[in-house]
Amino acid sequence: MSEMAMFFGESRYIEYKREVPKDSLKYMKSVVAFANGDGGQIIFGVEDNTEKVIGVPAETLFQTMDALTNAVTDSCEPMIIPNIMVREIDEKQIIIMEIMPGMERPYFIKSKGMINGTYIRTAGTTRPADQVILQELILEGRNKFFDQEPVWHGMVADYEIDALCRQLYEIALKNAKTAEQRQAVKRVTKNTLLSWGVLAERQHMVLPTNAYSMLTNTNGLPPLIQCAVFKTENRAIFVDRREITGTVQEQIEKALQYVLEKINMGARFHGIYREDVYELPPDSLRELIANAVVHRSYLEPAPIQIALFANRLEITSPGGLMRGVTVAKMKEGFSKIRNRALASAFAYMNIIEQWGSGIPRIMHECQEYGLPELEIIDLDGDMRVNLYRCTKAKTDQKTDQKTDQKTDQKTDQKTDQKTESNPILTDNEAAIWQILLQKPSCTQKEMAGILRWKPGKIKYHIRNLQAKGRIIRVGSHRKGYWQLVQPEK
């Protein structure tokens, strides 16, 4: 079998060249892009469109390897030392030049300078780094974080520091879920804020950092959060919107409350006891919003967007995946901090729990809720998380509503409602009605299992619900479902 099966097209980590270009600039851009990212390989002797092995002339193989090494070390700043290998495939030699991720970012082409010569890798292409990405690379190279950078707008007064410390302490107590967690909350001080990077000490002066500005809503930070509701599964029909301002901790709570106002409320039954529940898990909603706030890039002025569609909640935040982070790793619990000071403050305030456990915990909670799997998308500079709602039963209903039988039953429904407007349901009837609200196709046997009732009791209350005009059977006994009739307001 040919080893050609190894090649699957260019990607974020692989680039093919049919031959070694005479103009080194044609591959040097990708060299610095790989060094500024997660590393990668440039493979010479393979066509980029067909992945066909062409090979590198054997008589000049070693001279070519030396020339590649010299070109890279001479052309890049800081210096990049490639790892060059030879491999034989189909009796032809190819050259593999491996570039490791660099620690002295940004890497750029000397002749073009830092501003014009810095490149990054996106999917299977190399492109120039814009100003925002360049700033982020500079911070990474200095092992600095944007939120810990001082704001040179004067010192912070002691009374302002004390006020912030008290506020953080009160929020931490409020968010504590257990008595043990409350007892573990200790008061923060100026020194605590300095250790986190919320404050910075320069020349015997205590200065605010960008994190301080975001925690106090000063110096133009943080950017607002845009929330919106759309009627369908796209942005065609706009229903409502709200712009969330304030401190980062206030924005999280306001955005969460907005979503909770707009999603549906259902119920769970434990025996005869009813528990009201949201259609989406509130703890997961809070953590997803908090993650968007703490992990976004604040070098980008764009707002976080939270959009509620008919089938999903969509949260989009500026700033792509950090170096070394992939969607698969995130789902396994891997986490990398973009804003270290904010992360420390959020952990103290019990807004975010253990590092790395958030996404796996959210995925587990969605599974317990019976929701589709959480979707995480890298949008080339932005991150998007989709939390899908349970809409299959509703979609099936809408399809069946097109039938003549459905039209006839709508007429019957209106007649029943006129005869008995807003009939009051008993607790047992309400229990069945709520189950059917979540799953209209639920069988009487399944209902009996959920409620732990005898089949005869289920049949009795089903007949009562039909008599009151609150449920209507659509389709056959085996393949049909229950249409639920909402009471008139």
- pLDDT tens figures, 415-445: 344 334 446 788 788 888 888 887 888 888 8
Q: Is the pLDDT of residue 325 over 80?
A: yes
Alpha carbon dihedral 289, 295, 300, 301, in 10-degree steps, equals 30
Q: Is the pLDDT of residue 12 over 90?
A: no
Q: Is the pLDDT of residue 112 over 90?
A: yes
Q: What is the mean pLDDT of the chain?
A: 87
Per-residue model confidence as pLDDT tens digits over 235-290: 989 999 999 999 999 999 999 999 999 999 876 666 556 677 899 999 999 999 99
Per-residue model confidence as pLDDT tens digits over 274-288: 677 899 999 999 999
The contacts of residue 320 (CB under 8 Å, 6+ apart) are 378, 379, 380, 381, 382, 383
- Describe the crossing of helices 25-36 and 61-75 by its angle, rounded to 10 degrees: 60
- For residues 480 and 473, the answer to whether their CB atoms sit within 8 Å is yes
Alpha carbon dihedral 308, 313, 319, 325, in 10-degree steps, equals 180
- pLDDT at residue 183, as a whole number: 94
Going from the N-terminus, what domains does the chain have, and what CATH number goes with each?
3-142 (3.30.950.30), 147-216 (no CATH), 225-390 (3.30.565.60), 393-484 (1.10.10)
- pLDDT at residue 123, as a whole number: 76
How many alpha carbons lie under 13 Å from residue 336 in its C-beta half-sphere? 14
- pLDDT at residue 423, as a whole number: 60
Q: What percent of the chain has pLDDT over 90?
A: 62
- pLDDT at residue 473, as a whole number: 86
The contacts of residue 65 (CB under 8 Å, 6+ apart) are 84, 86, 95
